[in-house]
Amino acid sequence: MVARMHRSATPRKGRTGRPRSAEADQAILRATRAALVDVGWGRLTMGEVAARAGVAKTTLYRRWANKNELVVDAVAVLFDELELPDRGCLRADIEGVVLQFGALLARPETKTALMAVVAESTTDEALRERIRSAIVERQKRLVLLGRARAQARGELPPDAPGEDGERAAARNMDLIFDVIAGAVVHRTLVSGEPVNAEWGREFAALLLSGLSVALG
Amino acid sequence: MVARMHRSATPRKGRTGRPRSAEADQAILRATRAALVDVGWGRLTMGEVAARAGVAKTTLYRRWANKNELVVDAVAVLFDELELPDRGCLRADIEGVVLQFGALLARPETKTALMAVVAESTTDEALRERIRSAIVERQKRLVLLGRARAQARGELPPDAPGEDGERAAARNMDLIFDVIAGAVVHRTLVSGEPVNAEWGREFAALLLSGLSVALG
Amino acid sequence: MVARMHRSATPRKGRTGRPRSAEADQAILRATRAALVDVGWGRLTMGEVAARAGVAKTTLYRRWANKNELVVDAVAVLFDELELPDRGCLRADIEGVVLQFGALLARPETKTALMAVVAESTTDEALRERIRSAIVERQKRLVLLGRARAQARGELPPDAPGEDGERAAARNMDLIFDVIAGAVVHRTLVSGEPVNAEWGREFAALLLSGLSVALG
Amino acid sequence: MVARMHRSATPRKGRTGRPRSAEADQAILRATRAALVDVGWGRLTMGEVAARAGVAKTTLYRRWANKNELVVDAVAVLFDELELPDRGCLRADIEGVVLQFGALLARPETKTALMAVVAESTTDEALRERIRSAIVERQKRLVLLGRARAQARGELPPDAPGEDGERAAARNMDLIFDVIAGAVVHRTLVSGEPVNAEWGREFAALLLSGLSVALG
DNA sequence: CTGTAATCGAGACGGTACGTCGGGTCTTCAA
DNA sequence: TTGAAGACCCGACGTACCGTCTCGATTACAG
């Protein structure tokens, strides 16, 4: 089996031959999202995507190794829409990002695809890495930005100096990311309940003050 | 499409005909879990399950409409293993349940199956309901038990009296359930990091005291 | 494997237990023929026959070993309808029997079933024997009767005396039976053309006088 | 049901796409005949044929709509082996063709398949047409050739001139074909007796001279 | 302006699994 | 013991997608 080059930034080391169509890439990703909306992950087929994109199946496989990787790329871009507008205080920033994330997960193309590729990633290391780099790591920026803003506002203390402090801070960011993202994902996809303003308020309150106060 | 009778609690309304084998049920669920361990969700086939269970494929389809519903039932029972031993204080109880849940999700038969059926449930209302009743709702008992213990110990205030208070408390329980379960699921399956004692401590601290104190 | 008793004339040697329903037999054979008319051999199922007869599949299998034998019995009785009314001369008798046989083979329940069981019989010795005894041998009576009449009328010479003569006559009867039955079957089922009065006349002429005269 | 293109003479109207493998066709037909020999019609499965041919089941279904049509094509070619060597006189020619045809029907791949497809053809017009064009009509050449030779030798009178004469001759050919083929088929497959030299002699005598003389 | 080399759409290919259907057996309860 | 009902095992069905391949036809750059 010869190694092939999927998604190479530069099309080829050599430079002869017909170059890949750049439009095709976008058409395929668009078609993938559209198909996800219409039929969901379970009934999504490469043939269907190719047909919608007006492209041959071969063209898909020249660029993505399989359905999972294609879907990750098709969905990843949606996560880049997430932003963290400055709402003045940490609590409001948390509420804001939670609502945005909840709205994103409510869209059919994300809700149906995200859990599916995560599931596949449990037995596919390459896919796990792709998800991590294309989705997870990129969204941690929101947590970092929120913390920086809160520190600037004096709502949170500055990082402890030294290497240990940095490591502890990084660990904390991962924890907080898992808590925020996990709660929204679980509420939306597992519990099947909407993430609305009321839930956002309650979640932010809990996250900020903890059980002791929140329930006190 | 003819209506069929899957998983009927009472074997039959009438009483004629050969009754369904109760052993087959258990053999199939056992075989499903074993196959999940060996080949994962993606390569799990009904034929394989049937062969392992020493049963005909037809027998599977008589009882479960499809792979998803079978897997939900096969996996659901594992969640019933979760317990909440009294560790003396709320913080320790949280750490304990988080570790247990993390260990459960680390097992191959759960990690590979849970996300997959959740993904399918986004386009399958019947499946969503099955997941909710077989898994989600049943595990809320742990949260309720934890709260009751904490109230008994005086770590948390008793419920506010009246109907409003009860409703608020129920909403809080749902919120806390999503936060705990979501964080563990996200860390394990999305971030791909282990839930160990250290993370458990940090998570419990955050949950109890909130960002303000945890990071303060 | 225990030997079982299919189609035994006397239901059982012992006499305890519920006796077999005689009506069921007829109902099953009738249902078989009806189903053959409706769906043909290819789509004929034991379940369908049982349902039409208002009988359980078990009952079918208690009486016939398999579908082929059931169909042979269901169809065989139709062949007993064939008669050889005395039309005054050998030529007319031949025309008469050919038309009768052609009409029988034009009925959907026979045309679809006869070739099918014959086909199965090529790999099933028991079935071949059943066909021979239930259908083939029984219809040779027509040829024998026709010959006897023709001899009585003086249209054919009497049998040569002695054992050799008898054996030769028997061999001739088999030959003539194959020619008559074969021609009708082939025309009806293979060539797919009707056996009508005109064809009957031409066939009788050929059979009586042979090519030399028929075409001379 | 979508219309598909089975057995198209011209591979495609358009000219794009990978062309169908011509070798696969032959391999499949060869495998079909081999499987017929080994397991007979009743146990012949498409999967078995595909496996023997080293081909995917899909490839079979792309080319033949079902088992019946495949078998007709696989067996039809065997009938083309039949020849009519000039044996000097009509009687000898008849004996020769009868023996050849008998030998062909004695081969397991024909005996088990021919009646089966004829049986199916009673409820499948397309199949009947395929049998007629692929087998029946093509073998009438033998009858025509035999008659032409006999006429050349002066054993049979020439055709009556005029349109009526031609039509009568054509009808006669059909009749004779049904008689010869029918007798051989019936003796071989229904009566289950061999077509040997002795039977051939007796049949030829009967066909040439008729009952009146044959039995006189 | 011509050759080389990669692309493109199209569709056949070998596979694997699907979910269904039918055959023939077995098990239960009622008659 | 028979009968109706229906679950059982088995094996084949015909379909749907997978991911690969083989075509003829483009399309770019290199010489």
Classify burial at A84, counting beta carbons within 10 Å of its beta carbon; exposed 0-12, middle 13-18, buried 19 or more: middle
Q: What is the pLDDT of residues C192-207, one digit of tens each?
A: 999 999 999 999 999 9
% residues pLDDT > 70 (chain B): 92
- CA of D48: nearest nucleotide by C1' is F12
> Which of B212 and D151 is assigned the larger pLDDT?
D151
| Rg of chain C on CA atoms, in Å | 20
* C62 CB contact with strand F at below 7 Å: yes
Q: Which nucleotide C1' is nearest A65 CA?
A: F19
Question: A147 with A173: CB under 8 angstroms?
Answer: yes
Distances (CA, A) of A64 to A32, A42, C215: 12, 19, 76
**Closest residue to D206, CB basis, from C118, C136, C175:** C175
The pLDDT, as a whole number, for residue B214 is 64
Inform me whether the pLDDT recorded for A173 exceeds 80. yes
At residue A17 the predicted structure's pLDDT band, cuts being 50, 70 and 90, is confident
Spacing of C125 CA from F1 C1' in Å = 32
| Chain C neighbors of D174, CB-CB under 8 A | 191, 193
How far is it, in rounded angstroms, from Cα A166 to Cα A151? 15
CA trace torsion D50, D51, D53, D58 (10° rounding): 30
> What local confidence, expressed as pLDDT, does residue B152 receive?
95
| Section B49-58 average pLDDT | 97
Percent of chain D predicted with pLDDT > 90: 68
Q: Token pair for residue C49?
A: 């026959």
Lowest mean pLDDT among A169-178, B113-122, C43-52, D12-21: D12-21
What is the identity of the amino acid at D41?
A: W
- In this complex, the nucleotide whose C1' atom is nearest to the CA atom of residue D12 is E11
Q: Determine contact, residues B125/B69, Cβ cutoff 8 Å.
A: no
What subunits make at least 3 CB pairs under 8 angstroms with A?
Answer: B
CA distance A6 to chain B (A): 22
B and A touch with 3+ CB pairs <8 Å, answer: yes
Does residue A18 reach within 7 angstroms of strand F, measured from its CB? yes
Per the prediction, chain B carries an average pLDDT of 90
- Asked if pLDDT for residue D112 goes beyond 90, the answer is no
Give the minimum alpha-carbon distance from C102 to chain D in angstroms, rounded to a whole number: 13
Instruction: Look at residue C49 in the predicted model and tell me its pLDDT.
Output: 95
Burial class (CB in 10 A: 0-12, 13-18, 19+), A68: buried
| Share above pLDDT 90 across residues of chain A, in percent, rounded to a whole number | 71
d(CA B39, CA B108): 9
Rounded mean pLDDT of C1-10?
A: 44
Nucleotide nearest to A1 (CA to C1'): F20
Q: Select from C157, C192, C206 the Cβ nearest to the Cβ of D216.
A: C157
CA A121/CA A72 separation, integer angstroms: 11
- pLDDT higher for D200 or D40? D200
Q: What's the Å distance between residue C116 CA and nucleotide F5 C1'?
A: 31
Q: What is the pTM for the complete model shown?
A: 0.86
Instruction: Tell which of C89, C109, C166, C186 to mutate to test the D interface (max D CBs under 10 Å).
Output: C186
Determine the Cα–Cα distance for residues B106 and A166; give it in Å rounded to an integer.
29
Report phi then psi at B16, rounded to 5: -90, 170
Torsions phi, psi of B183, nearest 5?
A: -65, -45
Neighbours of chain C (3+ CB pairs under 8 A): D
Is the pLDDT confidence value at C3 over 50? no
Return the pLDDT at C165: 86
Mean pLDDT of D161-173: 89
Residue D123 with chain C: CB contacts under 8 Å: 39-43, 112
pLDDT digits (tens, 9 = 90+) for B4-40: 456 655 554 567 889 999 999 999 999 999 999 999 8
| Cross-chain residue pair D186–C187, CB shorter than 8 Å | no
Contact assignment for D174 to C192 by CB distance below 8 Å: no
Q: Cα separation of D191 and B180, whole Å?
A: 81
Beta-carbon contacts of B104 under 8 Å, excluding residues fewer than 6 positions away, are B78, B79, B81, B82, B110
pLDDT score recorded for residue A11: 47
Residue D108 tokens, joined: 């397991």
- Residues of chain A positioned with their CB less than 8 A from the CB of B40: 122-123
Instruction: Tell me if C99 sits within 8 A of C195, measured CB to CB.
Output: yes
What's the pLDDT tens digit per position in B138-158? 999 999 999 999 999 999 998
Q: Smallest Cβ distance to D119: which of C119, C182, C214?
A: C119
Q: Are C153 and C90 in contact (CB under 8 A)?
A: yes
Distances D20 to A127, D13, D24, D64 between C-alpha atoms, Å: 36, 13, 8, 13
Asked whether A and D share 3 or more beta-carbon pairs under 8 angstroms, the answer is: no
Of B131, B155, B185, the CB nearest to A186: B185
Check residue D120 and give its pLDDT: 87
pLDDT, residue D1, reads 35
Strands (E), chain C: none
- Integer angstrom CA distances of residue D212 from A35, A59, C96: 80, 79, 18
User: In this structure, is the CB of residue B121 within 7 Å of any atom belonging to strand F?
Assistant: no
3-state secondary structure B126-193: HHHHHHHHHHHHHHHHHHHHHHHHHHHHCCCCCCCCHHHHHHHHHHHHHHHHHHHHHHHHHHHHHCCC
E12 C1': nearest CA residue: D18
Summarize pLDDT for B70-86 with one digit per residue, the tens: 999 999 999 999 999 99
**pLDDT attached to residue A149:** 96
Q: Are A177 and A140 in contact (CB under 8 A)?
A: yes
Judged by average pLDDT, the poorest of B137-151, C19-33, C58-72 is C19-33
In chain B, residues with a C-beta closer than 8 Å to the C-beta of A41 are 119-120, 122-123
Name residue B152's amino acid: A
- Decide if pLDDT at B174 tops 60: yes
